Structure 1
Amino acid sequence: MNARLTNTALKLSGIFILFLVMVLLIYLSVVYGVINTNWRHAIEAYTQFNGTNEHIAIRDVRVPRALVATVVGANLGVAGALLQALTKNPVADTGILGINYGASFFIVFALTFFSVNSIMAFTWIAFLGAALSGLAVYGLGSLGRGGMTPIKLTLAGAALGALASSYTNGMLVVNEKVLDEVLFWLSGSVAGRSLDMLMAVMPFVLVGWVGSLLIAGQVNTLLLGEDVARGLGQRTVFVKLAIGLIIIILAGSSVGVAGPIAFVGLITPHLARYLVGIDFRWVILYSALLGSVFLLGADIAARFIAMPRELPIGVVTAFLGAPFFIYVVRKGELRA
């Protein structure tokens, strides 16, 4: 793939520009909404807080929402890039591992049988469900001769996802009260999330970010082909296991906070490779920034499309991502 940014100086400039765009979108997310505020209100909310609606909206709603969108977008972008590299599947998303379905199943199960109603509890339950589902898929995809292969991982994820989805739908059918409580979360949303929820998963997030940067060079070697990687002395089984664990950590923490948001991990790696080529060290950085920019922009759009009401952010990402998915699939068919 021919990169549009062909040298280190251009790639660093691109990172700087994306960072500025991300900061601008955070500012727009904090300042604009149903309650009219400006940059002075944003500053005074932390320096001269007086309990007004403007200050409360900024401190308790908009700043946490913007930060959650930033972190979750970066997580999904990096997880998608790693997943596409691991499975060698250009349309791979975190849903392929059954992570979204597993987290949803655990949330609905906890509500149905244990009447859990704490948002913080939802975070940890969803994270646990996502992690266990990812590990189960990875284990199933590694059974048999030859160990883990992209097709076995894909089939295992589809099978486990379908199973979890059917059980989830069954519980929702017989318990309408649970449906009302989790419908907005199941659609994916960063609204109503607190900084405490984000801080609860940040240690995992940081481990995932650092791990993805450390393993980027090994991913470059793995992309040359498994036989070549082994010939160069790489222990491919351990590299794949590390990649899988990082994906589970990043995707699980994202689902735990914001619910199952689709297509971010599909779109951003393609855009990153379009800009910087196949060097995974750059792809990781660009996927993270593009993921944040994409999710922040989608969240702002979700608020303004139907103002004063708002759409779940998952609806907006699906609206943008579905045509892109079709484009990638048809592009692959034409090449075939």
Structure 2
Amino acid sequence: MNQQAAANMTPDSKERLRSRPKTASLILIGGLAALVLSMGLSISFGAANIRLSEVWSAVFNFHADVVNHQIIRDLRLPRVLASAMIGASFAVAGALMQGMTRNPLADSGLLGINAGAGFALALCFAFFPGLSFMYLILYAFLGAGVGAGLVYGVGSLAPGGLTPVRLVLAGAALSLLLTALSEGVALYFHIGQDLAFWYAGGVAGTKWVQLKIMFPWIAGALIGSLLISRSITMLSLGDEVAKGLGQRTALIKLAAVLIVLVLAGSSVAVVGSVGFIGLIIPHVTRYLVGVDYRWIVPCSAVLGSLLAVLADLAARMINPPHETPIGAIISLIGVPFFLYLARREVGDL
């Protein structure tokens, strides 16, 4: 930050740059501890309840001839790890979008990214059955980018330019359109059963091969989000302030968009249509740690993982032995939260 730019910053901008590193450190430590405990509980509970001591043994001293060890290693551990990964991905994607666009309603599920990825998957199932998971992820990236581009394009056509509420309205409309098109493709090509998993949203059936493919993408994107977190903090103050502080705003936005597409696209390819994680978690994190994205990004990743793991656990406990879609569990929290934010945003216009 150069001295002249810092001197020209308004008191409001300086106030917004304040953070709470001690609180953030406590959240990271406590959140990681809670995440490990919740992952252990999630592995333990299911159609066959397994003691935590046996979970520990299966993870660190696996015996292939023990049935419970096979259940843990082949079925429960992959889905729990997938829950943690997609929770972190959606949360960080939402945080980057909100900081980059200065839109408190930004979320990959609300801005057409998830629906675009889902539409791409529907086309893959219809025209390229048997496609490998690697290619499914790549097409999900492409669909996510098309969905986001359409939303921003339509929102920009409105008189008066792009506003947070108009962006969300455009996202809702185009998300419904893409979802309807996906359902139409499913009906015409008789692939409704294949798409049902993505419509409901869930991590049941996640395999190790899927985790091995998605992990490098998500890990790389999360590292990239940490690298640009300071620049996102500057962008959250406005483009003019960021430019005055020496930031290359166009390059930062391009990097952030690519990271968001990777995070959201790879997550949708695994878990399906799960929204609101990227809306709820960044707001809670900012309230707790301030507006420095060097803290918001890692704390959002931890809290997002915790929310997704607990939601998956609840999905199995609400109506056993049947499973409630994880997307429905999170929506119970997300919809009222979204309505509150939307009402506050409209009141500020």
> Helix, strand or coil: the match of 2:228?
helix
Q: Structure 1 243/257 Cα, relative in aligned 2: closer, same or farther at 3 Å?
A: same
Match of 2:179 in 1: 165
| SS of match in other structure, 2:323 | coil
Q: Tell me how far apart the structure 1 counterparts of residues 62 and 235 of structure 2 sit (CA, whole Å).
A: 53
Q: Does 1:54 align with 2:68?
A: yes
How do 1:296-311 and structure 2 match up within 5 A?
A: 296-311=309-324
Report SS of the residue matched to 1:94. coil
- Aligned to 2:207, which of 194, 216, 223? 194
TM-score after normalising by structure 2 = 0.85
| CA distances 1:192-231 after superposition (whole Å, capped 9, x unpaired) | 1012101102221122111111111111111222122222
291-300 or 317-326: bigger deviation: 317-326
1:239 is the counterpart of 2:252: yes
Residue among 120, 125, 129 paired with 1:115: 129
User: In the alignment, is the contact (CA less than 8 A) between 1:65 and 1:191 conserved in 2?
Assistant: yes
1:286 to 299, 306, 309: 299
Instruction: Identify the match of residue 85 of structure 2 among 71, 75, 87.
Output: 71
Helix, strand or coil: the match of 1:240?
Answer: helix
Supply the distance in 2 between the matched residues of 1:117 and 1:233 (Cα, whole angstroms).
Answer: 45
Count the aligned residue pairs.
333
Task: Name the amino acid aligned to 1:62.
Answer: R
Alignment check: 8 A CA contact 2:210 2:270 kept: yes
Separation in 2 of the partners of 1:152 and 1:257? 30
Check conservation: 2:80, 2:309, Cα contact below 8 A: yes
Q: 1:106: which partner in 2?
A: 120
C-alpha displacement of 1:163: 4.2
Q: Which amino acid aligns with 2:211?
A: L
Tell me how far apart the structure 2 counterparts of residues 280 and 209 of structure 1 sit (CA, whole Å): 13
Q: Which segment is superposed worse, 8-17 or 245-254?
A: 8-17
Name 2:217's counterpart in structure 1: 204
Could you tell me which of 37, 42, 46 is aligned with 1:29? 42
Contact 2:152 2:167 (8 Å CA) reproduced: yes
Q: Compared with structure 1, are the counterparts of its residues 70 and 325 closer, same or farther at alpha carbon in structure 2 (3 Å cutoff)?
A: same
After TM superposition, the score normalised by the length of structure 1 is 0.88
Q: What CA distance in whole angstroms lies between the structure 1 residues aligned with 2:57 and 2:232?
A: 46
Tell me whether 1:270 sits opposite 2:283 in the alignment: yes
Could you say what the CA RMSD is over the residues aligned between the two structures, in angstroms? 3.0
C-alpha distance in structure 1 between counterparts of 2:19 and 2:163, whole Å: 32
2:232 aligns with: 219
Q: How far off is 1:133 after superposition? A: 3.8
Instruction: Tell me the percent identity.
Output: 41
Shift in Å, 1:298: 0.4
Runs (5+) with no aligned partner, structure 2? 1-11
Letter in 1 for 2:310: G
Q: Which residue of 1 aligns with 2:266?
A: 253
Write the letter of the residue equivalent to 1:89: N
Change in CA separation of 1:35 and 1:12 when aligned onto 2, cut-off 3 Å: same
Distance 1:198 1:254 in 2: 10
Letter in 2 for 1:169: E
Aligned to 1:318: 331
Task: Flag structure 1 segments of 5+ consecutive residues without an equivalent.
Answer: none
Change (3 A) 1:151 1:334: closer
Alpha-carbon contact 1:208-1:249 (below 8 Å) kept: yes
